[in-house]
Amino acid sequence: MKIIDYDYNEDDRILYIEFSLKKDLDEYYRIIELDYSDIEYYSPTIIDDEDLSDIDNEFIIELLGGYFKENKYPEQLML
């Protein structure tokens, strides 16, 4: 998995993530928005709002790994 971009909106408490999978090659990317309850549930560690301002790619990859064990990938979008 390759993280292209991410942003946490503190007002809406939504994490916006653009990423691609190895099978997407360099042709496609995917977008997902996770609300705070999803972040809290699928987070590999206990997390609160203040922690979300300091997240990194490794955290995002672990978060998405947990999320996609129970959910389908979003549709591919052309680059």
Query: Contact 16/35 with Cβ under 8 angstroms?
Result: no
pLDDT one-digit tens code per residue, 15-32: 999 999 999 888 999 999
Classify residue 73 by its DSSP letter: P
Question: Whole-angstrom Cα distance, residue 77 to residue 28?
Answer: 5
What is this structure's pTM? 0.90
| pLDDT at res. 75 | 94
Q: Is the pLDDT of residue 51 over 90?
A: no
Query: Would the CA dihedral through 55, 68, 2, 58 be positive or negative?
Result: positive
For residues 36 and 69, what is the distance between their CA atoms, to the nearest angstrom? 18
